[in-house]
Amino acid sequence: MQLGNYIFVISSTGDRVTIYDTRTEKARSIRLSASKEAPLEVVPVFGNSLMSLQLKGPKVSQVAVYDMTDGNWYPHDLKEPFHGTVSPILGSSVVACVAGRTIYGFQLRVKAMGCAGRPRGCRSHSDRVRQQHRSRR
């Protein structure tokens, strides 16, 4: 997959993502916790100067952001492995994603990622969809 000056290569099991910058002729890779037994589906999601990864699998254990301005990956281990899909939401200088009851956020200005737990009673969209599905049965 190519976007502008960047070529993206994702391994077949999703354990490695490499970004090659055709302008600088440099490649940057990140290793993810995937294996043949627990592969990850990896889809790059793009913002203005940030790129993150949508990850789907039986054991998602980290999230990552790539800063196109400095050419670095910023990985963050999840508090606990998550089974399902972790989809990032990108703003102009922030990335956010939810895995279970935890919200992870990256801020470009400080080049760091942090996390916070969702308060009890605060339901996500997927919680509401599951509840609606159960009530129809």
pLDDT in tens, 121-131: 555 555 544 45
What pLDDT score does 128 carry?
A: 47
CA angle 112, 35, 101 (to 5 degrees): 45
Residue 131's pLDDT is 53
pLDDT tens, position by position, 41-77: 999 999 888 999 999 999 999 999 999 989 999 999 9
Q: What is the mean pLDDT of the chain?
A: 85
Distance between CA 133 and CA 115 in Å, rounded?
29
The domains of the chain are located at: 37-136
Distance (Å, whole) CA 30 – CA 16? 6
CA distance 115 to 102: 7
Q: Which residues are within 8 A (CB) of 123 and not within 5 positions of it... i.e. 6 or more apart?
A: 131
